[in-house]
């Protein structure tokens, strides 16, 4: 099954992939060459750190290439779901207890980043939201107990 991803999410991941290939990979190769020049590799911390970093970079490149090639690109701006919550929706939630508002966009697992308000479509919050409409109330099991949220607005923006 192909994983959904928003066009913006795909652009961010392609930019990360390009940076890894054109900037970070050459830099770590240079760092390895410099560390090698220092001689004995067994006790050379810089060499081992650079090799570890290289492994991380190569792994991330492979992961991004694989995931982008298998992703189903969805242009959120073309979705016409009205006030119904589906993949790609930007949802404003209000905590029923204290009226505190939070804004989330439902995105693919690849591009989820809670700090940016991007929540994975597979997350418990997103699963509670999918299929609901503006004005509906949802209950989410949080670590501190159940929380109730009202869906203030639902919009689709590219």
CB 51 within 8 A of CB 111: no
Residue 25 has what pLDDT? Answer: 97
Residue 10 has what pLDDT? Answer: 93
- Degrees to nearest 5, angle at CA 13 with 28 and 84: 160
Q: Which domains does the chain have, with CATH numbers?
A: 3-74 (1.10.287.180), 76-155 (3.10.50.30)
Give pLDDT tens digits for 69-94: 999 999 988 887 888 999 999 999 99
Joined tokens for residue 13: 């991941």
Give the residue from 92, 32, 87, 86 showing the smallest Cα distance to 57.
32
- Degrees to nearest 5, angle at CA 108 with 106 and 114: 60
- Give me the residues of the chain with pLDDT under 70, please: 1, 158
CA 43 to chain centre: 38
Radius of gyration of the CA atoms of the chain, in A: 21
| Residue recorded with tokens 């290439």 | 65
Joined tokens for residue 45: 């911390």
Residue 158 has what pLDDT? Answer: 63
């Amino acid at each position: 099954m192909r994983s959904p991803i928003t066009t913006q999410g795909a652009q961010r991941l392609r930019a990360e992939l390009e940076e890894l290939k054109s900037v970070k990979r050459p830099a770590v190769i240079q760092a390895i060459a410099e560390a090698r020049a220092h001689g004995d590799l067994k006790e050379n911390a810089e060499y081992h750190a650079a090799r570890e970093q290289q492994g991380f970079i190569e792994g991330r490149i492979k992961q991004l290439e694989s995931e982008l090639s298998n992703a189903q690109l969805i242009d959120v701006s073309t979705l016409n779901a009205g006030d119904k919550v589906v993949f790609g929706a930007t949802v404003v939630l209000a905590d029923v207890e204290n009226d505190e508002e939070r804004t989330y966009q439902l995105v693919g697992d690849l591009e989820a980043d809670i700090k940016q308000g991007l929540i994975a479509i597979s997350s418990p919050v997103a699963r509670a939201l999918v299929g609901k409409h503006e004005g509906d109330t949802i209950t989410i099991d949080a670590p501190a107990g159940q929380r109730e949220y009202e869906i203030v607005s639902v919009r689709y923006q590219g």
